Structure 1
Amino acid sequence: MNSQWVVTLMGWAQSASDIALGWLLSPAAWSQFILLALAYLLARAGAKRLGPLLTRLLDPGQKDGLLAKLRRFSLGFVPLLMPLFAYALTAGGEEVTRSVFGSGEVVALGKRLFLFLAAQSFVREVLTDSFLKLLGKYVLIPCAALYMFGLLDLILQRLDDSIIALGNIRFSILALIRGLVAGSLLFWLGSWSNRQSAGYIKAQDELRPATRELAVKAIEVAIFGAAFLLLMSIMGIDLTAVAVLGGALGVGIGLGLQQIAANFISGIILLIEGQTTVGDYVELDGGERGTIVKMTARACILETFDGKWIVVPNEHFITSRVVNYSDQGSANRYEALFSVAYETDINRVPAVIESAVAALPFVLTDPDRPDCELRGFGDSSVDFAVEYWVNGIDDGKNKYASKVLFAIWNALKAEGIEIPYPRRVIEMRHV
């Protein structure tokens, strides 16, 4: 096999040498070289004049919007003016030289050369995404180089004739390469489309957060599902085989991936019902509590008050008790405990504390004002609690409670009410 390729390469080299020698000795070939040089100079002069004009026309400046984005996108293709102008001129000149000289191989080679230069400029100056640059560098430019020398069709035919057999499955190397390139492009395009659509949907503030998340997930499934089916069609795989594979996959999910399937279905139910959504502060039976910052197909991510993330499977939100402390800014009630000495006139305490807590700017009067209650008689103190309402969640240590306790302390000190500490009486007996 290797020796066959060596013989083939030597044959190509000998053929190229004969062609080059024939061109050097042919007046018609020299005329075509002159035409190529003129086409290059004209294309360069045209691009030099037209390039700045197009740049000024297409530059959107600081503007934003769909039209500005399209103009900014078109502006990236300005570096292709010179090779594309030269390609157009040589494409027209090829017809002329073939009618005048009866041949146009030199001009045809020049046309393919300018197309190769356009591919290089496209990869180097137009593409900005790192993945697309990599694909252009190792796929587009080599293909353009092979096309320039007229070897692309021959190489493709050779790759198509090379068959790989894996049991009963047979496919050519060309089909494998085509599938890899097409799959890479399709899934990159799917990922880009998914990011764009997700950004647009999440910017629609009139939609509920659960509706936005559900729409994002639905579009994601639709985009990548369509990309997968299109890839199967490009590779020439019968879609009936995909149906069989889908049935086998369903059996596998039913037997071995029950938890993943359960979490996926639970995630869809959560998004549809909307009882818990991104931004809610929740507490589960297992003790996990925090703000939902992200909902995925498999789990919800809670952020605790100290910045830690807890990944909770979606199934837990369906099968266990969930306490939702928030509904996008609803009022919530909390309480602060304190004690006073037994010598205190406890009838004065409720009015003093309720007035002090009500003066805090974050404490609400609706649905109810602060309420101070007697809770019990301890060993060394009389125990009270003050209940108060705030707009939001006390999702961190000392967010509201600290300020309330400070207000209670200051109010008791101002009224001369003692906050007790444990006291013990020791009786000494002399025998």
Structure 2
Amino acid sequence: MDNIEDLEGFVLFAIGRTPVTLGGVVTGVVIILAGFLAARILRLTIARMRGRTRHGKAALYIAEKLITYGVVIVALVVGVTTVGINLSSLAVFAGALGVGVGLGLQGVVKEFVSGLVLIFDRVLNVGDYIELADGRRGLVQEIGPRAVRVRTNDNIDLVVPNSKFIEGPVVNWTLRDSSSRIHIPFRVAYGADRNRVREVVLEAARSVPFTLPETETERSQVWLVGFGESGLDFELLVWPTLEAVKRPATMHAAYTWAIAEALECAGIEVPFAQMDVRLRGLFGHEGDDALTALRLDHPAAAARRAAPPHPMTANDAAEDLARPLPPPDEPVMEREPHSSGNRAP
């Protein structure tokens, strides 16, 4: 007992007139470690609750961050005070803070404060589909104290500093949990029946399974937007489901495939770069009559008559979109050791 008391009373050094003992240091370290352990347990518990509920996930995420940060800060303050360092001493506290900032902690503080702003501002939430300033897109997986983790549809994780979302523009495609209208460009040859093109493409778009039912304000449309070098430029305007919006490349490919197949089945020519020589007149005949007089046939008409009916093909992009997108993972759960028991399917 005397040895323990001597150990606890052993003075290592003094800060001002306050002695720092070995027992105080050990107690302070234990308190800080216990605080970090308690913060981790609370974080895992709230993460499990957030994974089991469908409503209030954003509120639970904010509570998880606040509780975790609060427990860690309290543990640090209590632990440092137990060691014997008086935080009310402005000279010591300001001096330590000044040294830390001078060594580069201002960047850490900046990112930490930016993370708190993101959490409370609610313009960026876990599960949102965003587009960065450089054009990269992905699903928000975690808003951490230093950076936001974004996972692209190619399963690539992007770690973006929190301040980038505060200082620069970021497109949030799913902020209001509603769909967005997308534009799918396509081109047909000059001379095609525009009404027929519109009917065929709209029918193809409505047959795609992830196209939303039309309403008074959200309708599928076909616009003629320009005159290209080799054909008429159109755009399909369509409202897909929210899950399809989160996978823009696959969605665009699915609609493009459906449009191409519909135009082929309808016999509407899709132009390509070429040079056409038009026969204006021959011995008093013009156009197709001149070709007939030469016992030639119009190549496009002959190709349409000779070509067999176009079979329906598999739209891989549409099939890929039919599979549900996996929900945002729980980053705090990834660090848990895997159980050796059987998992539920």
TM-score, length basis structure 1: 0.56
Contact kept? 2:31, 2:78, Cα under 8 Å = no
Q: Distance in 1 between matches of 2:5 and 2:77?
A: 26
Match of 2:42 in 1: 193
Aligned Cα root-mean-square deviation (Å): 3.1
- Percent identity between matched residues is 27
Match of 2:252 in 1: 401
Match of 1:382 in 2: 232
Going from structure 1 to structure 2, the CA distance change for 1:360 and 1:234 (only over 3 Å counts) comes to same
Greater relative contact order (Cα 8 A, min sep 6): structure 1 or 2?
A: 2
Q: Select which of 277, 284, 296 maps to 2:125.
A: 277
Q: Which amino acid aligns with 1:417?
A: I
Match of 1:292 in 2: 140
Q: Distance in 2 between matches of 1:244 and 1:202?
A: 46
- Counterpart of 1:348 in 2: which secondary structure? helix
Contact kept? 1:284, 1:320, Cα under 8 Å = no
Structure 2 unpaired stretches of 5+: 279-345
Which string of whole-angstrom CA distances, capped at 9 and with x for unpartnered residues, describes residues 6-55 of structure 1? xxxxxxxxxxxxxxxxxxxxxxxxxxxxxxxxxxxxxxxxxxxxxxxxxx
Q: Distance in 1 between matches of 2:41 and 2:230?
A: 68
Which string of whole-angstrom CA distances, capped at 9 and with x for unpartnered residues, describes residues 245-281 of structure 1? 5434554576654433332222222222211211111
Q: Distance in 2 between matches of 1:234 and 1:166?
A: 14
Q: Distance in 2 between matches of 1:182 and 1:264?
A: 23
Q: Select which of 332, 340, 349 maps to 2:188.
A: 340
Q: Distance in 2 between matches of 1:202 and 1:240?
A: 42
Match of 2:262 in 1: 411
Going from structure 1 to structure 2, the CA distance change for 1:361 and 1:228 (only over 3 Å counts) comes to same
Contact kept? 2:179, 2:245, Cα under 8 Å = no
Going from structure 1 to structure 2, the CA distance change for 1:277 and 1:181 (only over 3 Å counts) comes to closer
Q: Which amino acid aligns with 2:152?
A: T
Does 1:421 find its partner at 2:268?
no
- Counterpart of 2:138 in 1: which secondary structure? strand
Q: Distance in 2 between matches of 1:186 and 1:218?
A: 14
* Aligned 1:15-414 pairs, distance under 5 A: 153-160=1-8, 162-165=10-13, 170-200=19-49, 205-207=54-56, 209=58, 211-241=59-89, 244-251=91-98, 256-327=104-175, 329-364=177-212, 365-366=214-215, 367-392=217-242, 393-396=244-247, 398-414=249-265
Q: Distance in 2 between matches of 1:162 and 1:379?
A: 89
Contact kept? 1:306, 1:396, Cα under 8 Å = no
Q: Distance in 1 between matches of 2:19 and 2:6?
A: 16
Contact kept? 1:202, 1:212, Cα under 8 Å = no
Q: Distance in 2 between matches of 1:287 and 1:254?
A: 34
1:425 Cα deviation after fit: 5.1
Going from structure 1 to structure 2, the CA distance change for 1:176 and 1:214 (only over 3 Å counts) comes to same
1:334 Cα deviation after fit: 1.4
Going from structure 1 to structure 2, the CA distance change for 1:422 and 1:237 (only over 3 Å counts) comes to closer
Contact kept? 2:143, 2:149, Cα under 8 Å = yes
Contact kept? 2:138, 2:152, Cα under 8 Å = yes
Match of 1:3 in 2: none
Paired residues, number: 273
Q: Which has the larger radius of gyration?
A: 1
Going from structure 1 to structure 2, the CA distance change for 1:197 and 1:380 (only over 3 Å counts) comes to closer
1:303 Cα deviation after fit: 1.0
Which string of whole-angstrom CA distances, capped at 9 and with x for unpartnered residues, describes residues 121-163 of structure 1? xxxxxxxxxxxxxxxxxxxxxxxxxxxxxxxx14313424644
Going from structure 1 to structure 2, the CA distance change for 1:253 and 1:288 (only over 3 Å counts) comes to farther
Going from structure 1 to structure 2, the CA distance change for 1:263 and 1:163 (only over 3 Å counts) comes to closer
1:412 Cα deviation after fit: 1.4
Match of 1:106 in 2: none
Structure 1 unpaired stretches of 5+: 1-152
Q: Which amino acid aligns with 1:184?
A: L
- Counterpart of 1:240 in 2: which secondary structure? coil
